[in-house]
Amino acid sequence: MNDGLVLIPTYNERENAELILRKVFSLPKEFDVLIIDDGSPDGTAAIVRGLMAEFPNRLFLEERSGKLGLGTAYIHGFRWALARGYQYVFEMDADFSHNPDDLVRLYDACAHDGYDLAIGSRYIQGVNVVNWPMDRVLMSYFASAYVRFITGMPIRDATAGFKCYTARVLRTIELDRIRFVGYAFQIEMKWLAYKYGFRIKEVPIIFTDRTRGSSKMSKGIVQEAFLGVIKMKVDSWFRRFAPAQPRAAVSTGSATPARETR
Q: 31-53: per-residue pLDDT in tens?
A: 999 999 999 999 999 999 999 99
Helix (H) or strand (E) holding 50: helix 44-52
pTM of the model: 0.88
Higher pLDDT, 219 or 20: 20
Reported as a single tens digit per residue, the pLDDT across 218-244 is: 455 667 777 888 888 998 888 888 877
Higher pLDDT, 139 or 190: 190
Give the model's pLDDT for residue 251: 42
pLDDT of residue 155 exceeding 80, the answer is yes
Could you tell me the end-to-end alpha-carbon distance of the chain, in angstroms, rounded to an integer?
Answer: 31
